[in-house]
């Protein structure tokens, strides 16, 4: 499930900016920055948003709830 309202516009945004924006626009979620290629837990949580970044800290995937 993608984060509502932004979709593809997250590509190219600095990860910390995306994290702060997501948390500001929806205070009930915690955005978590994840480096591309890292593994994440498989438990689904509707209060967590994964923000995938590349080695330069830039968003590489549409952030999604998980």
CA distance 1 to 19: 16
pLDDT exceeds cutoff 80 at 5: no
Q: Which two tokens stand for residue 24?
A: 């500001």
Element (H, E) at 20: helix 15-25
Task: Check: CB of residue 49 under 8 Å from CB of residue 5.
Answer: no
Confidence (pLDDT) at 29 = 94
Measured in whole angstroms, how far is the alpha carbon of residue 9 from the centre of its chain? 12
Q: Which two tokens stand for residue 18?
A: 């995306």
Instruction: Over range 42-51, report the average pLDDT.
Output: 92
**Chain mean pLDDT for the chain:** 87
pLDDT exceeds cutoff 80 at 57: yes
Would you give the DSSP letter of residue 21?
H
Instruction: Over range 20-43, report the average pLDDT.
Output: 92
Give me the domains of the chain, ranges plus CATH numbers: 7-65 (3.30.10.10)
């Amino acid at each position: 499930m993608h984060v509502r309202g932004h979709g593809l516009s997250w590509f190219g945004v600095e990860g910390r900016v995306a994290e702060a924006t997501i948390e500001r626009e929806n205070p009930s979620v915690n955005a978590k920055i994840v480096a591309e290629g890292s593994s994440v837990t498989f438990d689904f949580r509707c209060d967590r948003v994964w923000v995938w970044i590349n080695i330069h800290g830039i968003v590489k995937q549409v952030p999604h709830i998980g």
